[in-house]
Amino acid sequence: MIALELAIGIAILQPHHLKKIVIPGTLLLLLAFCIHLTIVMYRQGAMSGNCGCFGQLIPMTPLEAFIKNIVTIGLLIYLFRNISKREKGKDKFIYLLLIYLAMALAVFVFFPFCPCKTYDPAKQNTYSADTVEQNQTFKDTAAISTQDTTGQKIKTNNSKPAKVSDPLIQNENKGPKKTKSIYSDFKTFGNKTVDLDEGKKVICFFSAGCEDCRETATVLNAISKKIEIPPVYVFFMNEETELIPDFFKEAGVSFPYSILEVPVFWQLLGMNADTPGVVLLWNGNLIRFFEGTGQNKFDARDFETACRSM
């Protein structure tokens, strides 16, 4: 598609089949884009997200992209009306084919395929539910100086002293020492600004058209009615985003979400992982990681145990 758009841009500058193929083909392509943008604006709003016309280089809202396309269509219609037909036999289709092949080759020459950097959740600061539970027990039995409501220090008299340097030994319910996770740079979820590394969070990686993702969201909603779970934030892959309203409708709950470009989505989830992904995070530390539909798939009982242990 990128090669085709580059080829069209160059083909407009040459005379072969300009009125017969190039301009009509460009108009049809822009018309298809306009229809798609109209659907996106109807379902998600005219000013939501990035249409992806220029990737991340020039972010544009669906409305901005729609206006751009309409202006371009107007210019093409003007051009179509003001150029004359070439004499029969002068137009050579081979020139259009060579332009496209050259652009296709250029895309791979200048932007060769390079796998995204793989993220292995196992290499991040990780505390299992068992570790957190053991730490909580240790905190309850350790000699830790605290303060009562009057500001007076109270010292517990237990046999096992606490190690102040231990990052897990902090005040009640504050959890492990805060660290920077790979999710920390992503702070916008709808109209909210959130620090994912602050406190307890549930981060989900969903595709709006994925049935397993919808089932996982539904289960999370059911669990939240049984026990208190951390706030849930969702990363959606930038595919089939028009299905997001139906996704939440089926799940019976609406979580704050952000839409990520496909390469970024897989870089965060892990190139060897799969959707649905569910991450239990505490102060930036990975407590539990579920992914895909295999052995490491989301397990409601395991998730509940981890939440209760935090």
| Tens of pLDDT, residues 20-53 | 899 999 999 999 999 988 987 887 677 766 666 7
Asked whether 23 and 10 are in contact (CB, 8 A), the reply is no
The confidence band for 192, taking pLDDT boundaries of 50, 70 and 90, is confident
- pLDDT tens for each residue of 151-180: 333 333 333 333 333 444 344 567 788 899
State the Cα–Cα distance between residues 279 and 203, nearest whole angstrom: 5
Asked if 294 and 285 touch (Cβ cutoff 8 Å), the reply is no
Structural domains of the chain, with CATH: 2-110 (no CATH), 121-130+174-309 (3.40.30.10)
Distance from C-alpha of 266 to C-alpha of 272, rounded to nearest angstrom: 9
Q: Looking at residue 144, what is its pLDDT?
A: 31
Q: What is the mean pLDDT of the chain?
A: 79
Label the pairing between strands 160-161 and 142-143: parallel
Partners of 188 in the β-ladder: 193
- Token pair for residue 262? 């496909």
Residue scoring higher pLDDT (252 or 86):
252
The helix or strand, by DSSP H or E, that contains position 135, with its residue range, turns out to be helix 129-141
Residue 229 pLDDT greater than 90, yes or no: yes
Return the percent helix, strand and coil in the chain, to nearest 5. Answer: 45, 15, 40
Tell me what the mean pLDDT of segment 78-86 comes to. 88
Question: What pLDDT is stored for residue 63 in this prediction?
Answer: 87
pLDDT digits (tens, 9 = 90+) for 95-130: 999 999 999 998 888 876 554 444 444 444 444 334
Radius of gyration of the chain, Cα coordinates, nearest whole angstrom: 27
pTM beyond 0.85: the answer is no
pLDDT at 146: 31
Three-state DSSP class for residue 146: strand
